[in-house]
């Protein structure tokens, strides 16, 4: 019969240990009770964590090879608040403190430092890619689209969404992720994406309809939305940055643009518009966060409970102010009304993309779309505000601003 009494497994607190044998036993520490010799009479009294009842344990025949009696008391301030345990502490038994426990303020501080460090790294990298333009911008964008598409289809396959629908097969998800990554490259090379997207959607739809088993409409709808959300919409950023190659001749910075970056000919409307869009989105997120923390009282929507109307209004004001200030510095767009409209459009696309991704994550039952970026989550968590904004900005510049706003 095993004589090893495991106390740690049941979270027990030793009250008293009385050795009734003739020979003296080794002194017992507070954390570990060690009985090294054969003892015929051993009385051990235990108390459950927070319980009044004590349980005497009599060990009359402890074998020579079974010596160890472990009693590790766990000190948890939120659970050890009962008066009975407090009495035992007052009587002289001090509960050992947990080692390696990080307090909540320390965790929040570490999380904030990670967000700031990786956020600055992402910001500088994105700025360099936008300034480079061309194939550098497109290849970087294709990589981001590929990872974002993988995260989207993983969300579709997660337990929260898959419990109410049939997710697409894995081969379809992987093929769609590759197609989404190729779309920006096709957009840069051919200048348009309509025909390739239509052809890709037709091929994917036929593969789903002709698959073995019982095809479901949920598979088709989630896959088609993935092609639209992760592939087609991001291509407008390539059309905005690389497609609008008209030089912004009336900007003062353009005349001083260094030859290393292509000179004045590479200071284009697409570059200026992209820089303003990125800056407006960053300003909208920053001002919305600060305004929500300081004045947030009224929830905006149940999709994202942390968003408030006060934070939304602050984000809108910061976005419009950023657009107006940059339009004065960069001399684009030339009119104040156009700058205000451009800022409002950027904010609308930003918050709409943010809420769309929040709805997907809520149905999936997850907090973040992934864990690729420490302190930020996944790629979709960082680029959700940009997905719809590129299409709206390109349509505004291409359709409503005469001569691309120059």
Residues 67, 154: Cα–Cα separation, whole Å: 51
Whether residues 20 and 130 fall in one domain: no
Q: Is residue 346 part of a domain?
A: yes
Same domain, 268 and 352: yes
Domain boundary among 90, 122, 145: 90
pLDDT digits (tens, 9 = 90+) for 199-217: 889 989 998 988 887 888 8
Residue 143, domain member (yes or no): yes
Boundary (domain end) residue, out of 90, 121, 149:
90
Query: Same domain for 75 and 179?
Result: no
Whether the ω angle into residue 136 lies within 30 degrees of 0, i.e. cis, is no
Does residue 3 lie in a domain region? no
More confident residue, 4 or 309: 309
* Residue 48 is assigned to a structural domain of this protein: yes
Six-digit token pair at 37? 């010799």
More confident residue, 128 or 10: 128
State whether 63 and 124 are in the same domain: no
What pLDDT digit, counting tens, does each position of 341-350 carry? 999 999 999 9
Judge if 166 and 129 occupy the same domain. yes
Q: What is the pLDDT of residue 332?
A: 86
Give me the domain span that covers residue 38: 8-90
Both tokens of 120, joined, read 């600055």
Give pLDDT, residue 49.
46
Q: What is the maximum alpha-carbon separation in the chain?
A: 103
Q: 150 and 62, same structural domain?
A: no
**129 and 85 in a common domain:** no
Q: How many structural domains compose the chain? A: 2
* CB distance 249 to 263 below 8 Å: no
Residue 394 pLDDT exceeds 50: yes
Confidence of residue 318 (pLDDT cuts 50, 70, 90): very high
| Confidence (pLDDT) at 294 | 92
What gap in Å lies between CA 400 and CA 379, rounded to an integer? 32
pLDDT of the residue at 196: 84
CA distances, 209 to each of 214, 215, 226, 228 (Å): 9, 6, 17, 19
- Look at residue 166 in the predicted model and tell me its pLDDT: 83
pLDDT > 90 fraction of the chain, expressed in percent and rounded: 40
Does residue 295 lie within any of the structural domains? yes
Question: pLDDT digits over 70-83, tens only?
Answer: 443 344 444 444 44
How far is residue 39's CA from residue 62's CA, in Å, rounded to a whole number? 7
SS3 annotation, 354-382:
HHHHHHHHHHHCCCCCCCCECCCECHHHH
Q: Which of 90, 120, 136 is the last residue of a domain?
A: 90
- Model pLDDT for residues 90-113, shown as the tens digit of each residue: 444 444 444 455 566 666 667 667
Residue 101 located in a structural domain: no
The reply to whether 75 and 200 lie within a common domain is: no
Residues 253 and 342 grouped into a single domain: yes
Same domain for 263 and 394, yes or no, is yes
The whole-angstrom separation of Cα 149 and Cα 231 is 8
Is 100 inside any structural domain?
no
Answer whether 240's CB lies under 8 Å from 217's CB: no
The position carrying tokens 């348009």 is: 192
Q: Which residue has the higher pLDDT, 260 or 381?
A: 381
Task: Say if residue 126 is in the same domain as residue 178.
Answer: yes
Residue identified by tokens 């905006």 is 300
Q: What percent of the chain has pLDDT over 70?
A: 67
Q: Which residues of 396-406 are buried (b: 16+ CB within 10 A; e: fewer)?
A: bbbeebeebbb
Q: Is there a domain that residue 98 lies in?
A: no
Say yes or no: 74 and 137 in one domain. Answer: no
* Average pLDDT of the chain to the nearest whole number: 77
Average pLDDT, integer, range 281-287: 94
**Cα–Cα–Cα angle for 128, 399, 336, nearest 5°?**
70
pLDDT at 147 over 60: yes
């Amino acid at each position: 019969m095993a004589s090893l009494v495991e106390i740690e497994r049941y979270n027990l607190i030793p009250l008293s240990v009385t050795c009734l044998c003739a020979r003296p036993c080794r002194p017992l520490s507070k954390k570990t009770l060690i009985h090294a010799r054969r003892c015929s009479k051993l009385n051990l009294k235990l108390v459950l964590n927070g319980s009044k009842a004590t349980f005497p344990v009599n060990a009359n025949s402890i074998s020579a090879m079974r010596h160890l009696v472990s009693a590790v008391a766990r000190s948890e301030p939120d659970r050890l608040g009962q008066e009975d345990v407090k009495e035992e502490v007052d009587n002289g038994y001090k509960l050992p403190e947990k080692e390696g426990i990080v307090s909540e303020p320390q965790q929040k501080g570490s999380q904030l430092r990670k967000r700031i460090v990786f956020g600055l790294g992402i910001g500088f990298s994105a700025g360099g890619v936008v300034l480079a333009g061309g194939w550098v911008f497109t290849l970087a964008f294709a990589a981001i689209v590929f990872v974002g598409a993988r995260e989207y289809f993983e969300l579709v396959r997660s337990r929260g969404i898959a419990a109410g629908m049939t997710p697409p097969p894995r081969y379809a998800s992987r093929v769609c992720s590759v197609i989404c990554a190729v779309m920006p490259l096709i957009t840069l090379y051919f200048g348009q994406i309509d025909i390739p997207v239509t052809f890709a959607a037709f091929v994917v739809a036929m593969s789903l309809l002709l698959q073995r088993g019982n095809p479901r409409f949920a598979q088709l709808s989630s896959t088609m939305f993935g092609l639209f959300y992760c592939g087609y919409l991001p291509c407008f950023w390539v059309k905005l940055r690389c497609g609008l190659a008209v030089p912004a001749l009336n900007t003062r910075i353009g005349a001083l643009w260094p030859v290393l970056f292509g000179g004045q000919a590479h200071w284009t409307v697409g570059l200026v518009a992209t820089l303003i869009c990125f800056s407006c989105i960053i300003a909208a997120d920053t001002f919305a966060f600060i305004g929500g923390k300081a004045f947030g009282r009224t929830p905006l929507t149940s999709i994202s409970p942390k968003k408030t109307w006060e934070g939304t209004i602050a984000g809108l004001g910061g976005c419009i102010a950023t657009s107006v200030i940059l339009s004065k510095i960069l001399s684009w767009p030339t009119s104040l009304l156009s700058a205000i409209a451009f800022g409002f459009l950027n904010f609308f696309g930003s918050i709409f993309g943010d809420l769309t991704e929040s709805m997907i994550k809520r149905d999936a039952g997850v907090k973040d779309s992934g864990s690729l970026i420490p302190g930020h989550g996944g790629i979709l968590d960082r680029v959700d505000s940009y997905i719809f904004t590129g299409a709206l900005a390109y349509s505004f510049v291409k359709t409503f601003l005469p001569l691309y706003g120059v």
